Amino acid sequence: MEEKDLYLSNDRFAKHAGIVLTEVKPGYAKAQMKIKDFHMNSVNLVQGGAIFTLADYAFAAAANAYGRVALGVNVNISFLKAGISGTLYAECKEISKSYKLANYTVTVTDDDGDKVALFNGIVYLKS
Amino acid sequence: MEEKDLYLSNDRFAKHAGIVLTEVKPGYAKAQMKIKDFHMNSVNLVQGGAIFTLADYAFAAAANAYGRVALGVNVNISFLKAGISGTLYAECKEISKSYKLANYTVTVTDDDGDKVALFNGIVYLKS
Amino acid sequence: MEEKDLYLSNDRFAKHAGIVLTEVKPGYAKAQMKIKDFHMNSVNLVQGGAIFTLADYAFAAAANAYGRVALGVNVNISFLKAGISGTLYAECKEISKSYKLANYTVTVTDDDGDKVALFNGIVYLKS
Amino acid sequence: MEEKDLYLSNDRFAKHAGIVLTEVKPGYAKAQMKIKDFHMNSVNLVQGGAIFTLADYAFAAAANAYGRVALGVNVNISFLKAGISGTLYAECKEISKSYKLANYTVTVTDDDGDKVALFNGIVYLKS
């Protein structure tokens, strides 16, 4: 999957946020983010946008790994536990896929294995 | 609202993403983000996480501006138009507020006034 | 819009739930539901499914009124105030529309004009 | 769990929609709905509101089965496959639970075992 990796490795915002893909295959991906000071919000918790970006990158990787361009249409995210330190892990699984639409769930966990966020996203698949 | 500004100005991830608050009052806020290369995804569109972070920052500002800590519980975001260049603008309005929960809508627009994203978020208000 | 009305008037579940369309045009619709005992849940509040069905019917009417079949892909609904008695009103407005996807917001209010629910839905437009 | 069953069995809208609970324990529930003509929308598919109500009833049962009143705050539902005939099954699992908020996922399947809808709901737990 070298082409895919190349393609995805050009995601500058994910890079800017310190996120790394650790596994990608069609319909499945994992990413992680070591928590740094620049991820923090004003009350010293990992900012919601950083957690979203981590999950979103795994989602984009899984959805685009078939080779067709998949555009994010809608995402629902629930924040379950604050991120404080260590590393956050995102795992994306495919829920369903039709010709034009596909649905993915990403679970974000911390070093204790606790759920930090639950993310559900829909993509539109271009022809 | 200098204290609030101070409080919010310590959001390091928003700063890292180049986002600026332009107006804050209880239940209402505006933020903006000048699109730069580091906001881009692999297909040269503004990454979903960057758009989310912009909207989320306006949401956090509006919800926390009453002075009680407001924690994000859930967000739903629809991506309506790709962001390509120029500046993106987020405007957050309060939909409802009870003692423990409040609901906000953020609309993200571009320089043409077109809707880029629609964001709806819920906070839990700490005692 | 007699053909549309005819088309939509065959929605048996909306009828079963006592919901009536009061206005329909492309991208816009209104519906209402007089609260009856059969709408109640076990704690004598209008059941979430009844409120959803009311909003969903206005959404379907607005989205299908262009004449192309619009299939619901995703809905996000926030419950803001309990429904107890009187009539509930749903008003659906179009947020955006492209060739294959469109986005609608429905606000549900009660006789006091208070917001009972906020609903955001996405449809996929068949060719 | 006879008291719970009694409590939940007074949900008149679920009954009106022909939905039956088949299993309930704290944080977990199953419900089912035999598809009848009154569940149909104008294009002879099970109406979104009927599918929502089925999932919502399993969600309410799982969340309320601890004995504290749990109020639905927000639901996100994705419609994955049309319901046409036979029976629809909802299974609700708990994702997380804190003192005031809890998060549940409901998967709706049909007789072929295919996913019809994915539902994620949040409740606020009263004191």
Residue by residue, DSSP assigns A9-73 as TT-HHHHHTTEEEEEEETTEEEEEEE--GGGB-TTSSB-HHHHHHHHHHHHHHHHHTTSS-EEEE
CATH of B2-125, one of 3.40.50.12780, 3.40.1160.10, 3.10.129.10, 3.40.50.970: 3.10.129.10
Give me the pLDDT at residue B4, please: 54
CA A29 – CA C4 distance, rounded (Å): 44
Min Cα separation D32/chain B (Å) = 28
Min Cα separation B82/chain D (Å) = 22
Min Cα separation D76/chain C (Å) = 4
Neighbouring chains to D with at least 3 Cβ pairs closer than 8 Å? A, B, C
Beta strand D70-79 with C70-79: parallel, antiparallel or unpaired? Answer: antiparallel
C125: DSSP letter: E
| Cβ within 8 Å, pair D14-C40 | no
Please determine, for residue D1, whether its predicted confidence score (pLDDT) is greater than 50.
no
Give me the pLDDT at residue C120, please: 98
- Sheet of B28-34: strands edge to edge? A19-25, A28-34, A87-97, A101-109, A115-125, A70-79, B70-79, B115-125, B101-109, B87-97, B28-34, B19-25
Chain A CB within 8 Å of residue D77 CB? no
Chain C CB within 8 Å of residue B81 CB? yes
Give me the pLDDT at residue D43, please: 87
Residue among D76, D96, D115 whose CB faces A120 most closely: D76
Tokens standing for A55? 């999950």
Give me the pLDDT at residue A64, please: 94
Q: Any idea which of A28-32, B94-98, C114-118, D41-45 has the lowest mean pLDDT?
A: D41-45
Are A69 and A125 contacting, i.e. CB atoms less than 8 angstroms apart? Answer: yes
pLDDT digits (tens, 9 = 90+) for D76-109: 999 999 988 999 999 999 999 999 999 999 999 9
Q: Give the whole-number percent of chain D exceeding pLDDT 90.
A: 87
Please determine, for residue C6, whether its predicted confidence score (pLDDT) is greater than 60.
no
| Cβ within 8 Å, pair D101-B124 | yes
Low-confidence spans in chain B with pLDDT less than 70: 1-7
Please determine, for residue D47, whether its predicted confidence score (pLDDT) is greater than 70.
yes
pLDDT band for position A1 (cuts 50, 70, 90):
very low
For B58-69, give one letter per residue: b (16+ CB within 10 A) or e.
Answer: bbbbbbbbbeee
Give me the pLDDT at residue B5, please: 57
pLDDT digits (tens, 9 = 90+) for C31-76: 999 999 999 998 899 999 999 999 999 999 999 999 999 999 999 9
Q: What are the two backbone dihedrals, phi and then psi, of residue A97, each rounded to the nearest 5 degrees? A: -155, 125
Q: Where are the domains of chain D?
A: 2-125
pLDDT band for position A24 (cuts 50, 70, 90):
very high
Tally C-beta pairs within 8 A across A and C: 19
Residue among D80, D81, D96 whose CB faces A80 most closely: D96
Does this model's pTM top 0.90? My answer is: yes
Give me the pLDDT at residue B7, please: 60
Tokens standing for C3? 């053909």
Chain D CB within 8 Å of residue C78 CB? yes
Residue C78: list chain B partners with CB under 8 A: 95, 103, 120, 122
Between positions 14 and 73 of D, the ones with CB within 8 A of B are: 73
Chain C CB within 8 Å of residue B95 CB? yes
Residue listed under structure tokens 């105030």 = C81
pLDDT digits (tens, 9 = 90+) for C86-115: 999 999 999 999 999 999 999 999 999 999
Closest of C50, C45, C44 to residue C19, by C-alpha: C50
Residue B79: list chain A partners with CB under 8 A: 71-75
